[in-house]
Structure 1
């Protein structure tokens, strides 16, 4: 089954606007317009469990990336539609680590983030599912390892 070209174009535009605008900081206020209230997100920003709902997603973004990083730049490297209307997107972003997070002190280094997103949109073009994978270099994950490893592996911190 293939998806109508108009839907493909709408989803590609929504994916680009979400990544560049919301995640990249060019238009953070677009979050409410682009994200479905019942969105489900799988991401290392919440290493245990899924983010369930726009409210939680906004909180996670604001208390992680929004709190610990500044002076960001972003470039979408690849974006492609799938036959069912989902979008696959790869980007590289850089930002200065200026704040502590989860008890881990800021490094004051410039971090590189490379991620792949598999995004599904509803009939109105709002994000309903986002599966996020970190690609090399895994600077964020290594910085947060003192907190992530015990949480994921069930060890005491």
Structure 2
């Protein structure tokens, strides 16, 4: 159910309080002004609501990061860290070398398999060519017959009306 709003100020008929006291007229005006609906907060261009206002950004200040370096760092501790870092780098290099070797082995295996396939294919071609000269002319005629049959089937699939028949 939709509510409709009627602006009573546009109509010439107004309610007048005649023969009543000023106090009753003031109460009536107050009542009707309280009943008058104000537009919703969203429809106002500017709201006096504090929450609408953007927060003020804090003034920028440059923060300096100071790292404290211990003055009396033990030389043995430095040597330990250098040795540990070197060991980590060596382990990483060994891991990368191992991956590289595996990759090379995979590539070599693929190359061997390819060469083997080519060798087998060439051998089977040679065997086919030795037995093919007797059947070569026959195979050409078979392909021509197959092509012709395919063309006939394509024509049959077309819905061409028969014009010779008198129906």
TM over 0.5: no
* Larger Rg over CA atoms: 2
Q: TM-score range by the shorter chain?
A: under 0.3
- Give the TM-score taking structure 1 as reference length: 0.23
Q: Which has the higher helix share?
A: 2
Which fold has the larger relative contact order, with Cα–Cα distance below 8 Å and residues 6 or more apart in sequence? 1
